[in-house]
Chain A
Amino acid sequence: MNMASASMGINPSRGSVLRKQPLSSMFFTTQAIPSSHCYDQKGGEIFELKAELNSDKKEKKKEAVKKVIASMTVGKDVSALFPDVVNCMQTDNLELKKLVYLYLMNYAKSQPDMAIMAVNTFVKDCEDPNPLIRALAVRTMGCIRVDKITEYLCEPLRKCLKDEDPYVRKTAAVCVAKLHDINAQLVEDQGFLDTLKDLISDSNPMVVANAVAALSEIAESHPNSNLLDLNFQTINKLLTALNECTEWGQIFILDCLANYSPKDDREAQSICERVTPRLSHANSAVVLSAVKVLMKFMEMLSKDLDYYGTLLKKLAPPLVTLLSAEPELQYVALRNINLIVQKRPEILKHEMKVFFVKYNDPIYVKLEKLDIMIRLASQANITQVLAELKEYATEVDVDFVRKAVRAIGRCAIKVEQSAERCVSTLLDLIQTKVNYVVQEAIVVIKDIFRKYPNKYESVIATLCENLDSLDEPEARAAMIWIVGEYAERIDNADELLESFLEGFHDESTQVQLQLLTAIVKLFLKKPTETQELVQQVLSLATQDSDNPDLRDRGYIYWRLLSTDPVAAKEVVLAEKPLISEETDLIEPTLLDELICHIGTLASVYHKPPSAFVEGSRGVQHKRLPPRSGSNESTESPDVTISAGTQPTEQPPAVIPSQGDLLGDLLNLDLGPPVNVPPIPSSTVQMGAMDLLGGGLDSLLGGDLGGSPAVHDPLSGLLKSGKLQNPIGAGYGTPAVMPASLNATVGGGLGDLFDLAGGIGVSSGSYVAPKTVWLPAAKAKGLEISGTFSRRMGHIYMDLSLMNKAMQVMTDFAIQFNKNSFGMIPAAPLQINAPLAPNQTIEASLLLHTAGPVMKMDPLTNLQVAVKNNIDVFYFSCLYPINILFLDEGKLDRQIFLATWKDIPNENEVQFQIKDCHLNADAITDKLFNNNIFTVAKRNVEGQDMLYQSLKLSNGIWVLAELRIQPGNPNYTLSLKCRASGVTQHVFQAYEIILKN
Chain B
Amino acid sequence: MIGGLFIYNHKGEVLISRVYRDDIGRNAVDAFRVNVIHARQQVRSPVTNIARTSFFHVKRSNIWLAAVTKQNVNAAMVFEFLYKMCDVMTSYFGKISEENIKNNFVLIYELLDEILDFGYPQNSETGALKTFITQQGIKSQTKEEQSQITSQVTGQIGWRREGIKYRRNELFLDVLESVNLLMSPQGQVLSAHVSGRVVMKSYLSGMPECKFGMNDKIVIEKQGKGTADETTKRYRTTKDIILPFRVIPLVREVGRTKLEVKVVIKSNFKPSLLAQKIEVRIPTPLNTSGVQVICMKGKAKYKASENAIVWKIKRMAGMKESQISAEIELLPTNDKKKWARPPISMNFEVPFAPSGLKVRYLKVFEPKLNYSDHDVIKWVRYIGRSGIYETRC
Most buried by A among B81, B118, B195, B223: B118
Contact B29 A75 (CB under 8 A): yes
Interface flag for A207 (CB, 8 Å): yes
What number of B residues sit within 8 Å (CB to CB) of A?
93
- The answer to the question of B61 belonging to the interface, with a C-beta cut-off of 8 Å to chain A, is no
Most central of B44, B80, B338 by chain A CB within 10 Å = B80
- Given A283-B224, A332-B75, are A359 and B390 also a contact pair (CB < 8 Å)? yes
Closest chain B residue to A207, Cβ basis: B154
Chain A residue with minimal CB distance to B22? A145
A251 CA / B340 CA spacing, docked (Å): 42
What are 5 A-B pairs at a CB distance below 8 A? A95-B137, A99-B106, A280-B222, A329-B79, A391-B392
Residues in B whose Cβ lies below 8 Å from that of A120: none
Assess whether A285 is in contact with B1, with CB atoms less than 8 Å apart.
Answer: no
Task: Count residues on chain A whose CB falls below 8 Å from chain B CBs.
Answer: 108
Chain B nearest Cβ from A187, distance in angstroms: 14
* Cβ contact within 8 Å between A613 and B22: no
Smallest CB-CB A-B distances: 3 pairs: A282-B224, A167-B150, A285-B76
Residue in A170, A171, A210, A599 whose beta carbon sits within 8 Å of that of B76 in the complex: A599
Residues A165 and B122 in contact, CB atoms below 8 Å apart: no
Instruction: Please give the distance in Å from A762's CB to the nearest CB on chain B.
Output: 50
B13-21, B206-214, B325-333: which lies at the A interface? B13-21
B5: min CB distance to chain A, Å? 12
Known: A75-B14, A600-B75. A359 touches B342 (CB 8 A): yes
How far is B372's CA from A599's CA once the two chains are assembled, in angstroms? 46
Does A22 contact B103, Cβ atoms closer than 8 Å? yes
Whether A331 touches B73, Cβ cut-off 8 Å, given contacts A25-B103, A358-B390, is: no
A288 touches B76 (CB 8 A): yes
Are A66 and B106 touching (Cβ within 8 A)? yes
Q: A131-B146, A317-B221, A394-B340 are in contact. Are A614 and B52 (CB under 8 A)?
A: yes
A94 within 8 A of B: yes
Option from A69, A102, A251 in Cβ contact (under 8 Å) with B77: A251
A602 touches B72 (CB 8 A): yes
- Residues of chain B contacted by A70 (CB below 8 angstroms): 105
Expressed in whole angstroms, the Cα–Cα distance for A831 and B99 within the complex equals 72
Q: How far is the CA of A396 from the CA of B236 in the complex (A)?
A: 31
Kindly provide the distance from the CB of A628 to the nearest chain B CB, expressed in whole angstroms.
28
Q: Is A178 touching B47 in the complex (CB atoms < 8 A)?
A: no
Verify if B267 is at the interface (C-beta below 8 Å from A). no
Given contacts A75-B26, A94-B138, A359-B343, contact A283 B80 (CB under 8 A): yes
Residues of chain A in range 385-428 having any CB-CB distance to chain B below 8 Å: 387-388, 391, 394-396, 399
Q: For A848, what are the chain B residues with a Cβ–Cβ distance below 8 Å?
A: none
Q: Are B137 and A358 in contact (CB under 8 A)?
A: no
Annotate B22-52 by CB proximity to A: 1 below 8 A, 0 otherwise. Answer: 1100100100000000000000111101001
A142–B118 CB distance below 8 A: yes
Q: Are A205 and B156 neighbours in the complex by a CB distance under 8 Å? A: yes
Tell me if A984 counts as interface (CB < 8 A to partner B). Answer: no
Interface flags for A125-139 (1: CB within 8 Å of B; 0: not) read 000011110000001
Output the nearest chain B residue to A358 by Cβ-Cβ distance.
Answer: B388
A130 adjacent to B146 (CB under 8 Å):
yes
Q: Judging by beta carbons under 8 Å apart, are A98 and B79 in contact?
A: no
- For residue B282, CB closer than 8 A to chain A, the reply is no
- Cβ of A244 under 8 Å from chain B: yes
Instruction: Check if A603 sits within 8 Å of B75, measured CB to CB.
Output: yes
Contact with B117, one of A171, A252, A605 (Cβ below 8 angstroms): A171
Against A, the Cβ 8 Å flags (1 = close, 0 = not) of B218-243 are: 00111110000000101010100000
- A432's partner among B21, B109, B121, B338 (CB-CB below 8 A) is B338
In the complex, whether A853 has a CB less than 8 A from a CB of chain B is: no
Residues of chain A with a CB closer than 8 A to B124's CB: 246, 248
**With A132-B149, A331-B45, A395-B340 given, is the CB distance from A94 to B137 under 8 Å?**
yes
Residue of chain B at shortest CB distance from A205: B156
A499 → chain B, closest Cβ, in Å? Answer: 24
Whether B46 pairs with A327 at a CB distance below 8 angstroms is yes
Known A384-B190, A612-B49; 15 more pairs at CB < 8 Å: A25-B99, A25-B103, A28-B102, A98-B113, A142-B118, A168-B150, A206-B155, A245-B156, A284-B76, A284-B80, A329-B76, A329-B79, A364-B46, A604-B47, A605-B47
Given A98-B113, A170-B154, A612-B52, A181 contacting B22 (CB threshold 8 A): yes
Closest residue on chain A to residue B7 by CB atoms: A73
Contacts of A24 in B (CB 8 A): 102-103, 105-106
User: Quick one: given A283-B224, A356-B182, are A324 and B75 in contact (CB under 8 Å)?
Assistant: no
Are the C-beta atoms of A19 and B150 separated by less than 8 Å? no
Does B75 lie within 8 Å of A599, measured CB to CB? yes
Closest to B53 in A: A612
Please give, as numbers and ranges, the residues of chain B lying within 8 Å of A284 by CB-CB distance. Answer: 76, 79-80
Considering the chains assembled together, what is the distance between the CA atoms of A331 and B47 in angstroms? 9
B72 touching A329 by the CB < 8 A rule? no
Map CB proximity to A onto B57-100 as digits: 1 under 8 Å, 0 otherwise: 01000000000011111111101111100000000000000010
Q: Tell whether A519 is near chain B: CB-to-CB under 8 Å.
A: no
Considering only residues 344-393 of chain B, those with a C-beta below 8 Å from chain A are 388, 390, 392
B306 on the A face (CB < 8 A): no
Asked whether, in the complex, the Cβ of A69 is within 8 Å of the Cβ of B109, the reply is yes
Question: What are the interface flags for B190-205 relative to A under an 8 Å C-beta threshold, 1 for contact and 0 otherwise?
Answer: 1101010000000000
A174 touches B154 (CB 8 A): no
Interchain CB contact (< 8 A) of B16 among A73, A280, A388, A618: A73
Partner of B13, one of A28, A93, A356: A28
Q: Is the CB of B120 within 8 A of A69?
A: no
Q: Please tell me if B305 contacts chain A, counting CB pairs below 8 Å.
A: no
Give complex CA distance A262, B75 in Å.
Answer: 26
B240 to chain A, nearest CB (A): 15
Whether A167 contacts B154 by the Cβ 8 Å rule is yes
CB distance from A485 to the nearest CB of B (A): 31
**A434 and B195 alpha carbons, distance in the complex (Å):** 38
B143 at the interface (CB under 8 A from A): yes
**What distance in Å separates the Cβ of A451 from its nearest Cβ neighbour in chain B?**
29
Cβ of A177: which chain B residues have Cβ within 8 Å of it? Answer: 118
Interface residues of A in 60-113 (CB under 8 A from B): 66, 69-70, 73-75, 92-95, 98-99, 101-102
A255 to B121, CA, bound (A): 14
Contact partner, B221, options A101, A318, A394, A602, Cβ 8 Å: A318
Closest approach, in angstroms, between the C-beta of A618 and any C-beta of chain B?
5
The answer to whether B54 touches A601 (Cβ under 8 A) is yes
Binary per-residue interface labels of chain A (315-332) against chain B in the complex, 1 for a CB within 8 Å, 0 otherwise: 001101100101111011
- Chain A residue numbers with a CB within 8 Å of B220 are 280
Query: Please, which residues of chain A bring their CB within 8 A of the CB of B120?
Result: 174, 210, 213, 248, 252
The CA-CA distance from A170 to B184 in the complex, in Å, is 54
- Using Cβ atoms and an 8 Å threshold, which residues of chain A touch B154? 166-167, 170, 204-207
Q: Is B269 an interface residue (CB 8 A)?
A: no
Question: Whose C-beta in chain B lies nearest to the C-beta of A396?
Answer: B340
Contact of A324 among B77, B135, B190, B193 (CB under 8 A): B193
When the two chains form the complex, which single residue of B190, B221, B232, B336 contacts A321, counting CB atoms closer than 8 Å? B221
Q: What CA separation (Å) do A166 and B125 show in the bound complex? A: 17
A102–B109 CB distance below 8 A: yes
Give A920-937 interface residues, CB cut-off 8 Å to B.
Answer: none
B147 part of interface (Cβ distance < 8 Å): yes
Chain B positions within 8 Å of A174 at CB level: 117-118, 120
- In the complex formed, the residue of B with least CB distance to A432 is B338
What string of 1s and 0s marks CB contacts (under 8 Å) between B143-173 and chain A?
1001101110111101000000000000000
The chain A residue sitting closest to B13, CB to CB, is: A31
Q: B56 at interface (Cβ–Cβ under 8 A)? A: yes
Please, how many angstroms separate the alpha-carbon atoms of A69 and B18 in the complex? 11
B256: interface (CB < 8 Å): no
Instruction: Answer yes or no: A333 CB below 8 A from chain B CBs.
Output: yes
Which residues does chain B contribute within 8 Å of A139, judged by CB atoms?
113, 117
How many angstroms between the C-alpha atoms of A367 and B46 in the bound complex?
Answer: 13
Which positions 321-352 of chain A face chain B at CB distance < 8 Å? Answer: 321, 324, 326-329, 331-333
**B149 proximity list for chain A (CB < 8 A):** 132, 167
Choose from A73, A170, A384 the contact partner of B105 (Cβ within 8 Å): A73
